[in-house]
Amino acid sequence: MEASVPSSAGRQSGSVSSTRAPAAGAVPEPTSSANVTRPANNRFAWAATTMPSPWLPPTGLVSVSPGPRSARPTPDRGHSSKYGAEIEVGVQCSACESPAVTHLDYAGRDLCADHFQRLVESRFKKQLREQLEALGAGEGARIAVGLSGGKDSSTLTALLVDALGPDPRFEIVPISVDEGIPGYRGPALSSAEELADQLDLDLRVVSHEDDHGWTTDEVAQTETEGKPCGTCGVFRRSSLNQAARDEDCDVLAVGHNLDDCAETTLMNLLRSDLEQVLRTGPHEQAPEGLIPRVKPLRSCTEREVALYGVIEELPYHGAECPHAAEATRRTYRSLLLDLVDHEPSARHRLLSLEDKLKDRLDAGEADETELEPCPECGEPSAGGECRACQLAAELEAAHADA
């Protein structure tokens, strides 16, 4: 079996649709505007004028006619964000004559909405094709997608449908996990349902309460030390895997972007934990019972994933979890941002390093573990009760003592 990702595709159905220019293999080289397929009425005007978003500049881009680049002074890039300079009015796309909507620090290029989208789509498809091929997931493959309703998973799901939806050899199964944080997960689940509806997909919702007997809000009240994030992560991974297996899926796609992946690699390397570098997805194989994970957004930065979703008007919920992230993760994220400040391509280099390490260290070695079904829940476990059931039992005990 060999995966074949269609090279051009439209949305399966729903209200989100677009005219796509052919995907480019990399950051497109400058080209005459005659070669670029663009709608007559710039469909991205709204992005600059109607939606106040941290991902886009606040001023109208479309009304400005900058004239030839050589005749203009170097534009002031305006204030700089952690992820690179914001674009200023009047900057032209490096690949055509349209106004740019983003500046790629690490590539030294400005891109208009069309060329930016083509870039994201081409990177997404390259990763997806390579990862599905490595897993031998081709004809008849059912692909589960973790769809939380946040920016990453919404962009992931839309791009998956775009790339694979029209291909009858693939089926896409979105899964949402309700952790039980009502004020936060409620609106996100609504976004997930709205997107699934637009894309004509059936959303399956599973919950920590059903699978593990505890909502994350309850865990937060019971945990005596620190945040509930550790337990929540274990429960969520277990629920996602269980749901994907129940749905007979061959692959589980998750929305990790380049920043997430680079942060994880940095953390594992600075902990001197090579085994964990190898164990982290995308997987080329997985022990019996574990659905192998693919991460097709791993070469797109967090900012690129979010900007893509904004341009495509994808419904998503942007709030941060009220329980906030683990302190450890924050430390490594802050180190990663320092690195990017010094060297804009630091995240890309960490990704390339991860690939080289997996390539040369024989990723197979790390996956020799034989897993057995947990006697409590049936999820794969290294022996005896799985971690999720252990944590649930500890919570029961702590609750009984209180």
Chain residues that interact with a copy of itself, rule: CB under 8 A: 269-272, 274, 331, 335, 338-339, 342-343, 346, 349-350, 352-353, 356-357, 360-361
Any idea of the CA torsion for 381, 382, 384, 390, to the nearest 10 degrees?
A: -60
Cβ proximity of 179 and 215 under 8 Å: yes
- Residue 187, classified by CB atoms within 10 Å of its CB into exposed (0-12), middle (13-18) or buried (19+), is middle
Q: Which is nearer to a copy of itself, 35 or 331 (CB)?
A: 331
Q: Which is nearer to a copy of itself, 1 or 339 (CB)?
A: 339
Q: Which is nearer to a copy of itself, 49 or 345 (CB)?
A: 345
Cβ proximity of 243 and 203 under 8 Å: no
Q: Which is nearer to a copy of itself, 134 or 274 (CB)?
A: 274
Q: How far apart are CA 134 and CA 129, in angstroms?
A: 9
Q: Which is nearer to a copy of itself, 1 or 274 (CB)?
A: 274
Task: Please give the sequence-ordered ranges of beta strands (E in DSSP) within 27-120, or none if there are none.
Answer: 80-81, 84-85, 102-104, 109-111
Smallest separation, CB 343 to a copy of itself (Å): 7
Helix then strand then coil, in percent of the chain rounded to 5, is: 45, 10, 45
Cβ proximity of 304 and 113 under 8 Å: no
Stated as kind and residue range, the H or E segment containing 241 is helix 229-246
Smallest separation, CB 234 to a copy of itself (Å): 24
First to last CA, the chain: 55
Q: Which is nearer to a copy of itself, 142 or 349 (CB)?
A: 349
Q: How far apart are CA 15 and CA 205, in angstroms?
A: 22
Smallest separation, CB 93 to a copy of itself (Å): 29
Q: Report which residue type is found at 170.
A: F
Smallest separation, CB 206 to a copy of itself (Å): 36
How far are the Cα atoms of 148, 158, 288 from residue 236, in angstroms, in the given order?
11, 22, 19
Q: Which is nearer to a copy of itself, 301 or 381 (CB)?
A: 301
Smallest separation, CB 345 to a copy of itself (Å): 9
Smallest separation, CB 81 to a copy of itself (Å): 20
Q: Which is nearer to a copy of itself, 74 or 272 (CB)?
A: 272
- Residue 71, classified by CB atoms within 10 Å of its CB into exposed (0-12), middle (13-18) or buried (19+), is exposed
Q: How far apart are CA 133 and CA 262, in angstroms?
A: 23
Cβ proximity of 63 and 89 under 8 Å: no
Q: Which is nearer to a copy of itself, 134 or 357 (CB)?
A: 357
Smallest separation, CB 353 to a copy of itself (Å): 4
Smallest separation, CB 261 to a copy of itself (Å): 14
Smallest separation, CB 272 to a copy of itself (Å): 4
Strand partners, 103: 110
